[in-house]
């Protein structure tokens, strides 16, 4: 599900906004990213900026997503070897995120939710992370000490 943070970010960019806008960070505090200043056409600028700084989050929560979510229900810190591919066309953008998930605990874990967040510059060298998508998925069980690969794709189409 595309979250309110996504729509706020997309709307600000579509308007080529020089005004500040606020997103809710994954820690629950408000973040105000730098404003847009590139001279690209809106959709091109958006696609370039969107793919930079993406982060894949996985978790064990299973509550259905809502538009107002700003974090996963229960985040797990097990993502490594993140790879992001962005395919653009005249009316769509497909973002494919692949990663390895490693269970370094002594017990089996279950992945039930996945989300994509973006790392934003907020001031100087400070950054803020805002969750943009969240989905509850079919469970992925990872035995203790094992790794699995995951691919998560999002398609944005202009209609």
Q: pLDDT of 122-158, one tens digit each?
A: 766 678 889 989 999 999 999 999 999 999 888 776 6
Residue 46's pLDDT band (boundaries 50, 70, 90)?
Answer: very low
pTM of the model: 0.80
Enter the DSSP assignment of 2: B
Q: Find out whether 108 and 90 touch, Cβ atoms under 8 Å.
A: no
Q: How far is CA 73 from CA 52, 60, 80, 107, in A?
A: 25, 7, 20, 20
Query: Quick one: which H or E segment has residue 49?
Result: helix 42-51
How much is the pLDDT for 94? 80
pLDDT per position as a tens digit, 50-100? 566 788 899 999 999 999 999 999 998 887 778 888 777 667 778 888 899
List 106's β-bridge partners, or say none. none
The rounded distance, in Å, linking the Cα atoms of 82 and 99 is 4
The rounded distance, in Å, linking the Cα atoms of 149 and 110 is 14
Rounded to the nearest 10 degrees, the angle between the axes of helix 4-14 and helix 42-51 is 140
Q: Which two tokens stand for residue 13?
A: 């960019």
* Residue span of the structural domain in which 151 resides: 4-157
The distance in angstroms from the start CA to the end CA of the chain is 18
Give the chain's length: 159
Report, as an integer, the average pLDDT of 103-107.
Answer: 92
Query: Number of structural domains, the chain?
Result: 1
Q: Find out whether 144 and 103 touch, Cβ atoms under 8 Å.
A: yes
Q: Which two tokens stand for residue 121?
A: 């510059």
């Amino acid at each position: 599900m595309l979250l309110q943070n996504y729509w706020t970010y997309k709307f600000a960019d579509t308007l080529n906004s020089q005004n500040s806008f606020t997103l809710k960070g994954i820690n629950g505090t408000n973040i105000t990213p730098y404003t847009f200043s590139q001279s690209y056409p809106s959709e091109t600028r958006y696609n370039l900026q969107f793919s930079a700084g993406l982060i894949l989050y996985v978790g064990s929560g299973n509550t259905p997503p809502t538009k107002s979510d700003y974090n996963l229900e229960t985040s797990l810190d097990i993502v490594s070897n993140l790879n992001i591919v962005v395919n653009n066309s005249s009316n769509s953008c497909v973002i494919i995120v692949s990663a390895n998930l490693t269970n370094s605990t002594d017990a089996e874990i279950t992945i039930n939710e996945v989300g994509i967040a973006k790392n934003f510059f907020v001031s100087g060298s400070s950054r803020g992370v805002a969750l943009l998508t969240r989905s509850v998925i079919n469970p992925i069980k990872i035995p203790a000490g094992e790794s699995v690969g995951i691919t998560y794709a999002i398609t944005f189409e202009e209609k």
